[in-house]
Structure 1
Amino acid sequence: MNPSWLSLVLIVLAGGATALQAPTNAKLMSAVGSPVNAAFISFAVGTLALGLAAAVMHVRPDGAAVRGLPAWAWVGGLYGCIFVIAAAWSVPRYGAALTITLMVAGQLIISLLLDATGAFGVTRQPISLSKIAGVVLVLAGVALARRG
């Protein structure tokens, strides 16, 4: 697997979008009174944007493929809800940098477990010392960001 530089840059920008999403939803939370309300509005806007994108691109799901999905494939939106609520709640308390650093640490730990086990349809990847070292360095970054 040799991803193109453009795809790597787009993935980094998508990660940057999550960093922007956290303070945006925190501001929204301060106006609407709770992280749950902020998440609801955020998902409503996202749903409208996805509907528009699907209409413009003329795409719709394959019904047979959708019916054949395992149960766990339906809960991805719940993970997004957890992320948005946690980010909206934690950014005003801990700042964007610590919040996102903690979230990235969580993402890396779970990603290593997914790669190691092949759970959720992920292609199995061996855990190496360099991957573990990378996660340890991110956790060290969490500690440094916390000391701030």
Structure 2
Amino acid sequence: MKVSPVHPAILAAILGALLSGFLVALQAPTNAMLARGAGSPVNAALVSFAVGTAALALVAFVLGVRPQAEAVRTLPWYAWMGGLYGAVFVSMAVLVVPRVGVTFFLTVSIAGQLLMALMLDRVGAFGVPRVDISPLRLLGVAFVLVGAFLVRR
């Protein structure tokens, strides 16, 4: 069987996704450590987001990117909620990782992401392409959930 080469842009996207996964795995225990030092999960999340905001501000400055005021004004209210979702994730990681470990927490959170992704794909939410929920896609998510509990054993 002949294997087709992977397009460089697809390979870069896969490597970027893999790198972001590595960083999310690092984020949970380092934020848990930060919570112990900062005195609370809320303080840890606040510091984490402040550092992230500073890093993004620096990148925006270096790249010379600025928000387009008109486009920003026309966004629906829920377009502004991404930071809230991130704050919940970071806070939950800080609270849960010391109790159950990084692997179990991340596996269960990935299962949650996949369940939500199935629903978003199904309805084409937020402009993403519509993708039906198939038995194989459900089985894939079920395997992740089973994997989470196998990791915990």
The TM-score by the shorter chain falls in which range? over 0.9
Q: Which moved more, 1:114-123 or 1:26-35?
A: 114-123
1:101-124 deviation line (CA, Å, top 9, x unaligned): 111011000010100112233221
Percent of pairs identical after alignment?
51
Structural mapping, 1:63-82, within 5 Å = 63-82=69-88
Among 18, 22, 31, which residue is 1:12 paired with?
18
2:138 corresponding residue in structure 1: 132
Note if 1:108 corresponds to 2:120.
Answer: no
- Corresponding residue pairs, total: 146
C-alpha RMSD over aligned residues: 1.2
Distance in 2, matches of 1:123 and 1:24, equals 35
CA distance in 1, matches of 2:121, 2:127: 10
Q: 1:48 aligns with which of 54, 63, 68?
A: 54
SS of match in other structure, 1:4: helix
1:62 is aligned to 2:98: no
Distance 2:11 2:68 in 1: 31
Q: Is structure 2 residue 38 aligned with structure 1 residue 32?
A: yes
CA–CA distance in 1 between the matches of 2:27 and 2:124? 29
Distance 1:120 1:4 in 2: 23
The answer to whether residue 119 in structure 2 is matched with residue 118 in structure 1 is no
Matched AA of 2:102: A
Distance 2:78 2:45 in 1: 22
> What TM-score do you get using the length of structure 1 for normalisation?
0.94
Residue 125 of structure 1, CA deviation: 1.1
Corresponding letter in the other structure for 2:60: A
Bigger CA drift: 112-121 or 64-73? Answer: 112-121
2:3 counterpart residue number = none
Structure 2 residue aligned with 1:143: 149
Divergent runs of 4+, >3 A? none
Structure with max Cα Rg: 2
TM (normalized to structure 2)? 0.91
For structure 1, the 5+ residue unaligned runs are: none
